Every structure is written in structure tokens, then in C-alpha cells.
Amino acid sequence: MFGAGSIGCRLGGSLASVAEVTLIGRPAAMATLRENGLTLTGGGRPAVTVDPAALRLADTPEAVAQSIAGADFVLVTVKSMATEDAARQLLPHLAPGTVVVSFQNGLRNPEVIRSVLGDRPVVAGMVPFNVLPTAPGTYHQGSGGALMVDDQPAGAPLVAALSAAGLPVRAHADMRAVQHAKLLMNLNNAVNGLSGLPLREELGQRAFRLCLALCQSEALAAYRAEGVRPTRLGALPTHLMPRLLRLPDRLFQRLAASVLAIDAEARSSTWDDLRRGRPTEIDSLQGEIVAMAARHGLPAPACARLVELVREAESAGPERARHWTGPELLAELTAARG
């Protein structure tokens, strides 16, 4: 697992029951795991704790190089802005047959990795669920869904291993369509981060949902111009999602029970990044929609304004960042649209 943060620890900790797994991460994060072990909670599964002595961890250049050289698969779970650097770190140490798998947000990470690794096998993956740290060494999965991996021979052994580890997983023939569908969902990350609320509470408020609907409408227009048809990930076709989000609260709660089937601890990765004073992935979320729309001469003012607001929150820092109410944020995005 290259970039063992929340997603990396969740996937790696699960796979440890069926495979030899090495977690590669920041020295501070690895020190926490050495001291506390790795505990996985949520996701509809019993809590699992891996004893510190049983963890394979790498945080020095020598240990990282050795782990990469001996791997059948390297699962990349770093933030999107670190993808190219991660690929360059991998390149000198990869064995010829090692398969690199991108389990990251955004649209372009597999292509970025391929641009560095050349003809080495690179597979796209998608993680549908939310994972956050809740205590030192403890990672909580707050929502569900099936992992997806590009349906090609290079990824088949990984699909089998994930399934054996008890993780829902599907091979999919069109990961480009999957990635675009996931981005539609991830457009809520910025809204949630600025709200400061748990996901279930935020999505339960119509004003916040209207903010997300504005972003998704801009994204769908850009997708049509780009010639992309995002795959259906849930019960509703993607083109109907903004309409569902606009429904009054009571009707939304009745028709979108699965959307709200999120436990009370779940929050977005953008919320977590802002809380920790870290850079967010906003350029790979709303920023991606702004860039795509611009390529086709389309406006995306709500997405563009959210990029600005998240950047302002990053600059302000955790102590001073503003927590927006739904009506305040909606008014801001509506004003941006003129």
C-alpha cells in the first residue's frame, strides 16, 4: 500500500488476512501503527485489530525500496496532487511484472502514473466508501459500496484477493465511466468540508443538497460536451441525481434512504484535510469540472466558486476556517452563477 493513510490502511488492513501486505506511509503515521496496531471499524463488519508485531511497515528509503521490489501489486492511495511524485518514487524499484493500481479520487491519476512508468501494467480502481481516522491507529468506514477494478487480466488476482478478504468488489470494463460517476459523488466533498457537519446531517439539509445539485448539473453538462456517459453507481441514473437532490427534505428522505445510509461518524476527506490543516484535493474535484467545462466553452461558476472557498479555508487554517450554513453557501454559489 503506497500512501497508507485512511484508504490505504483500510484496504491494506483488510487484505492482510489473505496476503502479505506492507503499508508504506509517513514516518509519524507508521510510528502510530507500531505503537497502537491497526484497528478497522465500520463498513458493516466486526471490528478487526492487527497486532503491531504482525504489521509490515515501511517508512525509510531502504525499507520502501525493498517492499516495492518484492511486490506483485502496488496499490497507490496517495492524494491526487502527489501522484506524479509517487510514480517517480516507484519507478526505480518496480519488478518487471509488478502491477500498479490507482485507488484514488479524480479522473487522471492512472494516466499520470502511466506517463511516468511507461509500458508497465497500470490498473484503475475505485473506492466508493468513506474512511476516516477516529483514534490513533483506528480507521472507520462510514459508508458502503463495492470497490471496482479495471476488468483486465492484470487486475484479476487483486479482485480475487479483495473478495477473499471480504471486501465487496467488481471488475468493470469501463473505468473511465466509473471514475466520472464517482467524481459526481465526490463533488459533495467540498460542500461537506465547508459545512463542518457529518455527511448524514449535511445531506439531510436541502440547502446543502442544492449546492451539490448546482455542481452536478455543471459537471453533467461538461460530461455531455466531453462525450462521457458516467456509469450508474446507485439506484438512480446519474442524469437524475440533481433532480433527486432538489427534492424537499421529507420526500428526499423517503426516496433516498440509501444515500442517507451513512453512519453518524462519516465525513468527507475534504473535511478531514481542512481539520488537519492539509492541502485538499479540490483541483481534482470541482477544479476538474471547471477545467473540463472551459475546454468546451461552458460555464461552471458554482464549481469555480467552491474551489475559491476551499482555497480560502485552506489558507485560514483549522482554527479560523469558516463553517458555512446551507443557506449561506447556497446564496454564495447562486450569486456566482449570476
pLDDT over 90 at 298, yes or no: yes
What is the rounded average pLDDT of the residues 161-168? 95
In the predicted model, what is the mean pLDDT of residues 176-200?
A: 95
Structural contact between residues 155 and 171, judged by C-beta atoms closer than 8 angstroms: yes
Q: In the chain, what are the domains? A: 6-173 (3.40.50.720), 178-336 (1.10.1040.10)
pLDDT reported for residue 44:
83
Angle (deg, nearest 10), helices 286-295 and 301-316:
140
Nearest to 109 by CA among 137, 86, 93: 86
Strands 147-150 and 169-172 come out as: parallel
* pLDDT, tens digit, 9 for 90 and up, residues 304-318: 999 999 999 999 999
User: CB neighbours of 109 closer than 8 A, spacing ≥ 6?
Assistant: 76, 80, 83, 102, 124, 284
pLDDT at 258: 64
- Percent of the chain, pLDDT > 90? 81
Q: Residue 261 pLDDT > 90, yes or no?
A: no
Query: Is the Cβ–Cβ distance between 275 and 316 less than 8 Å?
Result: no
Asked whether the predicted pLDDT for residue 24 surpasses 70, the reply is: yes
pLDDT digits (tens, 9 = 90+) for 46-80: 999 988 888 899 988 899 999 999 899 999 999 99
Give the per-residue pLDDT at 253: 86
CA dist 125 to 167, 189, 197, Å?
14, 19, 28
- How are the residues of the chain apportioned to helix, strand and coil, as percentages rounded to the nearest 5? 50, 15, 35
Whole-number pLDDT of residue 224: 97
Encode pLDDT of 82-91 as tens digits.
Answer: 999 999 999 9
Alpha helices in the chain (DSSP H): 6-15, 27-36, 61-69, 83-90, 109-117, 156-164, 175-186, 188-195, 199-203, 206-226, 241-245, 249-255, 269-276, 286-295, 301-316, 326-336
The Cα–Cα gap between 225 and 186 comes to: 20
Contacts of 203 (CB under 8 A, 6+ apart): 188, 209, 259, 260, 262
Task: Give the mean pLDDT of 264-285.
Answer: 92
Q: Which of the residue ranges 12-21, 46-55, 117-126, 256-265 would you say has the lowest mean pLDDT?
A: 256-265
pLDDT above 90 for 219: yes
Q: How confident is the model at residue 260 (pLDDT cuts 50, 70, 90)?
A: low
Among residues 206, 210, 228, the alpha carbon closest in space to that of 219 is found at 228
What's the pLDDT score for residue 229?
94
- Chain-wide mean pLDDT for the chain? 93
Give residue 248's pLDDT: 94
* N- to C-terminal Cα separation, the chain: 45
Q: Other CB atoms closer than 10 Å to residue 195's CB: what's the count?
A: 26
Identify the residue whose cell numbers are 518514487.
89
Asked if pLDDT for residue 264 goes beyond 90, the answer is no
Q: How high is the pLDDT of residue 144? A: 86
- What's the pLDDT score for residue 236? 82
Least confident of 26-40, 99-113, 252-266: 252-266
Instruction: Assign 287 to helix, strand or coil.
Output: helix
Flag whether pLDDT at 92 surpasses 90: yes
Cβ 221 vs Cβ 242: under 8 Å: no
The stretch 34-57 carries a mean pLDDT of 89
